[in-house]
Amino acid sequence: MKRNFSYKICPWCLKRQFIKNYPIRKIVDDCEICHGIEKQIDKICHKVIQSTKDYVYDTLLIGVTLDHTFYDNEDKFRSRFKIRGKQNIKMSLLREIRTRFTKISHKKIDLNSPDIVVNLQIGKKFETLVSIRSSTLVLSGRYKKTKRFRSILKNADKDSYLEINQHYIENILKKKLARITKCESIIFWPIGKEEPESLVLGAGRPFYVSIKNSKITRFRRHFSIRSEGITFNINKKPSHLPISAPHLINKVRCFVNCSENLKSSHLKLINSTDIKIVKFNNKRNKIWKFVYHMQSKLKSKKNFELIMLCDNGFPVRKFINGYEDTSPNLNLISKVNCKCDTFDILDIICENIC
């Protein structure tokens, strides 16, 4: 067995052992604990600088996975001297890397919500693998649609129709955002849907996007993306996605065709400030949605324009056409056979108007 003071320990390793009167030797590579890892710290920091150069960020968290031989060496030494509860080689190395890196890069360490997380895997011979991930970025905003899309699937059912429109909008936004952020993936969360032919005006439809491993972690407070008749106004960076969708009221303009000539008595029956509860039968269940206001305006003998204030997600076409036992529906209310041509979202209001 070695004598107590015959271990070759470098000053960097010796400092954290707190052993009284242990002789300080000028050892670096021969250190029996770290084999000169301290000398590698600057090299490791520059490797991190190199690996993070594509990221735009302010704060980071650095983690280290160290080859087990370094712990084994230190444990062996500590058991000889019965050293307990002192900082180990990994923590010491990590603290040093964090300090030196922040000095070189002028970035800040943030343990709670860093812009990026850097993980270092350091092998037996100091071979270092750097992996970087940015924290998932959540942005929110509203989109406006000032151009009607022409749907390719003429005979698709209503739900597919809404899906097609959502995918189309999603692809426009994803293409643009992916180019800006050089990210791994994007998820688009609109609050509500509309048909491909529907315009979305006013303040627009609220949406959220979550962006995985974005190279850009800091955005201007407001920015817009315009493409193919859609304007995405992005103005908030919430810390996470909301647990539930906010209660929204839609102002909808519908163009309605009738099977017979319209009389003022028909329109009188429609115009109402009474709140209506409308029951819709879905494939699996029944849902109830509110109409808060209806106002009609004659356009020609057999057409009228209907302005409605209703809940977000209100199935407008089902209500006007009276599909699937929707009750009450516009046919029943107006006492005339109605068919929805197109409808537009004039505004989406985020407040309770009842």
Query: What gap in Å lies between CA 88 and CA 84, rounded to an integer?
Result: 10
Residue 191 contacts Zn ion per CB under 5 A: no
Q: Which stretch binds Zn ion (CB under 5 A): 33-41, 123-131, 211-219, 227-235?
A: 33-41
Among the listed residues 2, 15, 33, 56, the single contact to Zn ion using CB under 5 A: 33
Name the token pair of 123.
Answer: 């092998």
> Between residues 31 and 216, which has the closer beta carbon with respect to Zn ion?
31
> Between residues 34 and 252, which has the closer beta carbon with respect to Zn ion?
34
> Between residues 34 and 120, which has the closer beta carbon with respect to Zn ion?
34
Residue 333 contacts Zn ion per CB under 5 A: no
Query: What gap in Å lies between CA 65 and CA 11, rounded to an integer?
Result: 23
> Between residues 25 and 176, which has the closer beta carbon with respect to Zn ion?
25
> Between residues 33 and 252, which has the closer beta carbon with respect to Zn ion?
33
Query: What gap in Å lies between CA 262 and CA 336, rounded to an integer?
Result: 8
Look up residue 221 and give its amino acid.
R
Among the listed residues 2, 6, 34, 122, the single contact to Zn ion using CB under 5 A: 34
Return the closest-CA partner of residue 206 out of 140, 138, 137, 251.
140
Q: Which stretch binds Zn ion (CB under 5 A): 2-10, 135-143, 197-205, 314-322?
A: 2-10
> Between residues 34 and 310, which has the closer beta carbon with respect to Zn ion?
34
- Judged by CB under 5 A, how many residues of this single chain contact Zn ion? 5
Q: Residue 191 in contact with residue 106, Cβ under 8 Å?
A: no
By CB under 5 A, the residues from 224 to 243 that bind Zn ion are none
The count of other CB atoms within 10 Å of the CB of residue 9 is 24
Residue 209 contacts Zn ion per CB under 5 A: no
Q: Residue 217 in contact with residue 55, Cβ under 8 Å?
A: yes
Residue 320 contacts Zn ion per CB under 5 A: no
75, 112, 203, 306 from 255: Cα distances, Å: 79, 53, 21, 6
Return the closest-CA partner of residue 31 out of 3, 12, 49.
12
**Least distance in angstroms from the C-beta of 123 to Zn ion:** 16
Residue 122 contacts Zn ion per CB under 5 A: no
Q: Which stretch binds Zn ion (CB under 5 A): 25-33, 131-139, 151-159, 321-329?
A: 25-33
Q: Residue 330 in contact with residue 276, Cβ under 8 Å?
A: no
Query: What gap in Å lies between CA 83 and CA 69, rounded to an integer?
Result: 18
* 87: alpha, beta or left? (left if phi > 0; alpha if psi -120 to 50): beta
Among the listed residues 7, 13, 141, 232, the single contact to Zn ion using CB under 5 A: 13
Q: Which stretch binds Zn ion (CB under 5 A): 28-36, 102-110, 193-201, 316-324?
A: 28-36
**Least distance in angstroms from the C-beta of 22 to Zn ion:** 13
**Least distance in angstroms from the C-beta of 31 to Zn ion:** 3
Among the listed residues 2, 3, 8, 10, the single contact to Zn ion using CB under 5 A: 10
φ/ψ (deg, to 5) at 208: -125, 150
Name the token pair of 188.
Answer: 């688009």
Among the listed residues 23, 29, 31, 168, the single contact to Zn ion using CB under 5 A: 31
* 102: alpha, beta or left? (left if phi > 0; alpha if psi -120 to 50): alpha
Query: What gap in Å lies between CA 193 and CA 174, rounded to an integer?
Result: 17
**Least distance in angstroms from the C-beta of 8 to Zn ion:** 9
Residue 89 contacts Zn ion per CB under 5 A: no
Question: By the criterion CB under 5 A, which residues form the site for Zn ion?
Answer: 10, 13, 31, 33-34
